[in-house]
Chain A
């Protein structure tokens, strides 16, 4: 599986600093087609920075980034949009790529916000906006999805449904995902590779391996470790929010 053709992005000892302050240092990860790599770590540990290095947003970096695709979908953690722009959801969907109307509708239906298509972006609630962000990122059928806290502000049932959706999309599109999440339950349900950051890579490996790692325990505590190892994978049906049904 680790043949070179499957690699989408590769970070080699990558780091980023503002003047003398390192935000993150010495990160080596690679994201492959069809795999989910998750970054976990406390606040300020450099998770979003690592994502931005992988995306090429930060250019003056240490180390190397090799990016093998330009078909990228990005859900940033923080997004400051000038709400005075006259921008409807449908305009936002085609922001970086022209899409067919069917594709727009499909993506919005999948994340359960098709009814908001003609609404002004500024009128959405936080959770609704988050669903639109995810829809926008998946609608362009990317090779690489970078999701930085993608379900923040989404209600509890929605959160589970969206994570299932993300997993389903990886399988369908065979795209690679770089996921940043605080929710250890979800992290463990689908992740192939976990990278635990704390300014540097503190440990990495499969979820089970990481759970057993002492550094991880030191960072997150004994309880978090139990969450990881005890996780059971169990879901038998999929439903999007608001009872929307996906059309094929």
Chain B
């Protein structure tokens, strides 16, 4: 069954969607979408390093993304530049350095489009293993830090005052973000991974009244987007990563209609 590239793509996509669902909710709640973008851009550097040192891609991306996150935290402490400027600085410079490094690696043929937008149909059995082992680990750790992370998202001082150690939870969450980017980079690509994080969660926000339901809808939305997107890409021969994101956009628009209806009902 795993011989079929389409089945592999489906299993990979579903595995990623289960993890991006809850992480995406935190990305929205904590206003981290540009942070996610920055980590994703830096992933290109990770990929090039993986190729040049013959390293595992997911592992190398994870290391580089974590490193960029650390650098960001240090820059925030040591400079007076606003957060978004620092994010932009890191995102584009790491992307640029990654592309420059690619220029030096003339002996390897890079599929730049695949890197930027993902190539879910080229997913191997090894990739599946990484997703289905790494994904549950990320979810487990997220469950362990849920209380302090969520409490400090709502209000930092309450969490700190009542002994929850929000700083540690934040640091762990940053590493989890690097982790999800590492395991999903091959599938949706570095330009679209933030979309995979944000759009299903945004859709879920429109139809949820509690954090738990938002997480569940976010996962369901991601799963549905993967299925819809992949079948569309098979049917119309469109590229798979963008098709998945487009499918999630479609679901988001549907969720907006739901809001309009409920407002009408109220009146």
Binding site for B on A (CB under 8 A): 52, 55-57, 70, 72-74, 76, 79-82, 84-88, 91-92, 95-97, 120, 140, 146
Contact = CB atoms under 8 A, between A and B. Distances in A.
A95 B150 CA distance: 8
B160 A85 contact: no
B209 A79 contact: no
B161 A84 contact: no
B161 A55 contact: yes
B40 to A, nearest CB: 24
A55 B209 contact: no
B154 A74 contact: no
Given A87-B210, A88-B209, A95 B151 contact: yes
Given A57-B157, A74-B162, A86-B213, 15 more contacts: A52-B157, A55-B157, A56-B163, A72-B162, A72-B163, A74-B161, A80-B155, A86-B208, A86-B209, A86-B211, A86-B214, A95-B151, A96-B151, A96-B163, A97-B162
Given A85-B154, A87-B154, A146 B211 contact: no
A88 B210 contact: yes
B157 A76 contact: yes
A72 B161 contact: yes
A85 B211 contact: yes
B34 interface: no
A87 B209 CA distance: 7
B99 interface: no
5 contacts: A52-B157, A56-B160, A86-B214, A88-B210, A140-B162
Main secondary structure of the interface of A (DSSP, over half): loop
B211 A87 contact: yes
B170 to A, nearest CB: 15
Interface string B195-235: 00000000001001111111000000000000000000000
B158 A96 contact: yes
B44 to A, nearest CB: 32
Contacts of B147: 96
| Highest count of chain B CB atoms <10 Å: which of A56, A86, A87 | A86
B153 interface: yes
B159 interface: yes
Interface in B134-192: 147, 150-151, 153-155, 157-164
A150 to B, nearest CB: 14
A96 B210 contact: no
Contacts of A55: 157, 160-161
A82 B147 CA distance: 17
Given A87-B154, A88-B210, A96-B151, A82 B29 contact: yes
A74 B210 contact: no
A79 B153 contact: no
A70 B29 CA distance: 27
B214 A96 contact: no
B29 A85 contact: yes
Contacts of B210: 86-88, 91
Nearest to A146: B161
Interface string B1-31: 0000000000000000000000000000100
